[in-house]
């Protein structure tokens, strides 16, 4: 049987024809996958992507096309592998781009307090400590509005809402550098306030 006939049988639900085509083209997939590298994956992962491409070729091939099944399969296999590589490359730096160092000073480079110091504090379970903590929170919240300018307060609110510097700049009709400067001032003022009140 020709490849076109086998594909037609596979389309009609013939499992044996589908398995035969997959087995027939497995070495072809292996040969195609040798010239590619997938970040964080081994050779078998690339072959697996190629096999998915082969399966899609069998599923989508129309026998009335001018191209042969082999040419169509090669195209589908290559596309599937390249798509997997592009996806892996896009996500490769995601953890590095969004990480937060536990040893970096929280407010600015001169600060002694790190995120690790804050995390070490643990949960408060003593009712007295919880009450004092709530009082401290209320004090900070009230003082923030006194300490910060309108711009700093607006920038801080937008920043706490999870917006990027560019989004904040667009929302407040300011330059990105102005937003960055405002946030640096907020951090310095909060650091001074927290040190002054021994938080």
pLDDT score for 76 = 94
The structural architecture, per CATH, of the domain 3-95 is Orthogonal Bundle (1.10)
> Can you read off the two tokens belonging to residue 29?
């997939």
Burial status of residue 42 (CB atoms within 10 A of its CB: 0-12, 13-18, 19 or more): exposed
d(CA 15, CA 11): 9
113-135 as b/e, with b when 16 or more CB fall inside 10 Å? eeeeeeeeeeeeeeeeeeeeeee
76 Cβ neighbours under 8 A, 6+ residues apart: 53, 54, 56, 57, 60
Per residue in 131-146, pLDDT (tens digit) is: 656 676 677 777 777 8
pTM for the whole structure:
0.46
Domain spans of the chain, in order of start:
3-95, 115-196
pLDDT score for 130 = 59
Topology given in CATH for the domain delimited by 115-196: Arc Repressor Mutant, subunit A (1.10.10)
pLDDT score for 144 = 75
Per residue in 10-34, pLDDT (tens digit) is: 999 999 999 999 999 999 999 988 8
Per residue in 37-68, pLDDT (tens digit) is: 876 677 888 899 999 999 999 999 988 877 88
pLDDT score for 44 = 87
- SS3 for 49-72 is HHHHHHHHHHHHCCCCCCCCHHHH
């Amino acid at each position: 049987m020709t490849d076109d006939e086998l594909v037609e049988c596979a389309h009609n639900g013939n499992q044996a024809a589908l398995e035969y085509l997959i087995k027939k083209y497995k070495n072809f997939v292996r040969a195609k996958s040798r010239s590619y590298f997938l970040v964080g994956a081994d050779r078998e992962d690339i072959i697996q992507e190629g096999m998915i491409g082969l399966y899609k070729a069998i599923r989508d091939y129309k026998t009335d096309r001018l191209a042969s099944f082999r040419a169509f399969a090669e195209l589908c296999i290559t596309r599937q592998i390249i798509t997997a590589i592009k996806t892996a490359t896009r996500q490769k730096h995601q953890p590095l781009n969004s990480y937060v160092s536990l040893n970096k000073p929280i407010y600015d480079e001169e600060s002694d307090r790190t995120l690790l110091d804050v995390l070490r504090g643990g949960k408060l379970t003593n009712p007295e400590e919880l009450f004092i903590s709530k009082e401290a929170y209320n004090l900070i919240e009230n003082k923030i509005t006194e300490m910060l300018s309108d711009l700093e307060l607006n920038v801080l609110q937008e920043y706490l809402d999870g917006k990027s510097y560019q989004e904040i700049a667009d929302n407040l009709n300011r330059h990105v550098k102005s937003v960055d400067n405002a946030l640096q001032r907020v951090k310095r003022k909060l650091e001074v306030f927290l040190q002054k009140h021994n938080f």
